[in-house]
Amino acid sequence: MGVMKNWLIGGVAVLAMAMVGCSAPAAGGGETTTPAKEGEAKKFKIAVSIPTATHGWTAGVVDWAEKAKEQFASDADITIYASESVDDQADKLGTLATQGYDGLVILSFDPAAVTPAVKMNRDSFGYIVSVDRGLAEPIADVWMRGDNMKFGSEAAKFMAEKLGGKGNILVLRGMAGPVDEDRVKGFEEVMKGFPDIKILAMQPGDWNQDKAFTVTQNLLLKHKDVNAIWAADDDMALGAEKALTEAGLSDVWMVGGGGSKVVVKRVMDGDKMFPATVTYSPKMIELAIARMVADLKAGKKPSGTQVDEVLPVDLVLPANAKDHYFEDSVY
């Protein structure tokens, strides 16, 4: 598998080439595109529904969505709806369903809670690309997400090797949902092969640095003989690091994930606290928007069959960290 950075750049380039010289009626029926001047192609009208920047990764999602809005401005009028909560996202979906969009790109707060609002207005949204957490039912046209099972398994394989097959670890998992479930499942499947590695405790840090700090503090009071921590997100890893520092545990190391430039830089610099992390770039929202524009320009319409597109993840080590370091990213 190629490195994630090159794959992401290449993916957008391929989609951009697919758009050249193509035009088509809007998906979902009706004249909902922006009227064009003579000799110009019509612009598509696309809604992007995402969470607000509640933590580092979602801040990256917002940033990449804004960049995509500018990148595809000549092809589409893109409106970004950032929501503060599950209820806020569901309410906004109800409103934008009446506004004649050709397509919806959605990263849901909670698939189970948000899916009814999408399903109720399915025909009004035209073409749908779901990102990351997906929807609770296969009602999108494309579901684009990272390989979360491999995310967990890559972290587990590295940790098992570094521990020499024996040791004590703590696990910080994320917010309940399919992303967290797949990451933990991938991790535990690998660890079943290493009976001498003990998972002393597994607690949710909800992708949040402050909560991960508090949870790790409490875990360290109960479990002092710790060799390493797996944090299923780089923000949580940074919170756990603060707890380790306050406890004076300088020999404990961690593996995180998500592609935070702070953590990737520390891996690149050979920081013993962070010998590795796993990619899961928020840039996937840009890829999803690029896919939406390309598919609309190719004339694709809802088919009733969801296409499942799994993006690769990579283990980041000092030798390849430069390929995953986006210095200008907010995350």
CA distance 78 to 316: 33
Question: Is 0.75 topped by the overall pTM?
Answer: yes
DSSP state string for 74-100: TTEEEEEEEESSHHHHHHHHHHHTTS-
pLDDT digits (tens, 9 = 90+) for 79-122: 999 999 999 999 999 999 999 999 999 999 889 999 999 999 99
Single-letter residue type at 80: I
Give the CA count within 13 Å in the CB-facing half-sphere of 62. Answer: 15
pLDDT digits (tens, 9 = 90+) for 244-268: 999 999 999 999 998 889 999 999 9
Angle between helices 178-191 and 148-162 (to 10 degrees): 30
Contact 281, 274 (CB under 8 A): no
* pLDDT at residue 142 greater than cutoff 60: yes
Give residue 331's pLDDT: 64
Angle between helices 56-71 and 284-297 (to 10 degrees): 30
Q: DSSP code of 168?
A: E
Contact 172, 229 (CB under 8 A): yes
Q: What percent of the chain has pLDDT over 90?
A: 75
How much is the mean pLDDT over the chain? 87
pLDDT digits (tens, 9 = 90+) for 159-215: 999 999 999 999 999 988 888 999 999 999 999 999 999 999 999 999 999 999 999
Give residue 248's pLDDT: 93
Q: What percent of the chain has pLDDT over 70?
A: 87
pLDDT digits (tens, 9 = 90+) for 228-246: 999 999 999 999 999 999 9
183: nearest Cα among 217, 213, 154: 154
Q: Which domains does the chain have, with CATH numbers?
A: 4-140+282-313 (3.40.50.2300), 148-278 (3.40.50.2300)
